Amino acid sequence: MHIFASDNDNNDNDVLVAGVDEAGRGPLAGAVLAAAVILDPDAPIAGIRDSKLLSPERREKLAVLIRGNSLAWALGRAEVAEIDALNILQATLLAMRRAVLSLPVAPVRVLVDGKQAPSLPFEARTIVRGDKTVPAIGAASILAKVARDAEMVALDRRYPEYGFARHKGYPTRAHLANLREYGACPAHRLTFGPVRAVSQ
């Protein structure tokens, strides 16, 4: 988490609007990550959009710009055990809450991608498809996706038989075949149907 003062630090609370998004709701393995970003209106970043519409290379470049030019940003996460204990929706909301509460400055408002917002001590509003229409949410989607992809590459080194670096834990044909062949590893979400099927 980082904070950068704008050049004309005028303490205008209207700029303290955080965008929030997650990465990793659908995969069968790995944590779910969320990011919260407060963009600097005096340092616009061109090209921010829904992370799913960007190439990995473009996401990486934008993530560097977002981390370096935002007023504040932070990541939050919910681990596999929390996903299995709570369910993926509640774990996602928990990761979002952790991201927002980890911001080094308190936002005045929080804009959350989707239909549900976490419980927060700030004004919060949900925006369906906000990652495509709200730059701060798009920036959050990029940071969350880049961070989670890096974690899945690291998991691939620990469990190379599953191919996590390629599919990032999503239920691709190759991943499902590897699950059937090797069974589940500690990184898998045991309450997800395909994983549960090979774990019984």
Annotated binding residue 113: yes
- Averaged pLDDT for residues 18-42: 98
Residues in CB range of 102: below 8 A, 6 or more apart = 1, 36, 74, 75, 76
Instruction: Answer whether 69's CB lies under 8 Å from 40's CB.
Output: yes
Coil, strand, or helix at residue 136? Answer: helix
Annotated binding residue 14: no
- The answer to which of 9-13, 54-58, 162-166, 182-186 has the lowest mean pLDDT is 9-13
Domain assignment of residue 28, yes or no: yes
pTM for this entry:
0.90
The predicted pLDDT at position 63 comes to 98
For 101-126, write each residue's pLDDT tens digit: 999 999 999 999 999 999 999 999 99
Q: How confident is the model at residue 59 (pLDDT cuts 50, 70, 90)?
A: very high
How far apart (Å, rounded) are the C-alpha atoms in residues 166 and 110? 33
Instruction: Return the percentage of the chain with pLDDT > 90, whole number.
Output: 88
Domain assignment of residue 174, yes or no: no
Strands 72-78 and 2-3: antiparallel
- Averaged pLDDT for residues 34-58: 91
Domain assignment of residue 53, yes or no: yes
> How many domains are contained in the chain?
1
| Higher local confidence (pLDDT), 177 or 50 | 177
> Is the confidence at residue 1, as pLDDT, over 60?
no
How far apart (Å, rounded) are the C-alpha atoms in residues 34 and 141? 8
Domain assignment of residue 66, yes or no: yes
Domain assignment of residue 194, yes or no: no
- Averaged pLDDT for residues 7-17: 55
Residue 131: give its domain's CATH number: 3.30.420.10
- Averaged pLDDT for residues 141-164: 98
Which residue from 18, 15, 22, 21 is spatially nearest to 43, judged by alpha carbons? 15
Domain assignment of residue 88, yes or no: yes
Q: Which domain holds residue 66?
A: 2-160
Alpha helices by DSSP H, listed for the chain, are 56-69, 80-86, 88-101, 130-133, 135-158, 164-167, 173-182, 193-199
Annotated binding residue 181: no
Domain assignment of residue 99, yes or no: yes
* Distance from chain centroid for Cα 176: 24
- Averaged pLDDT for residues 145-170: 98
Domain assignment of residue 50, yes or no: yes
> Whole-number mean pLDDT of the chain?
92
Angle formed at CA 67 by CA 20 and CA 156, multiple of 5 degrees: 80
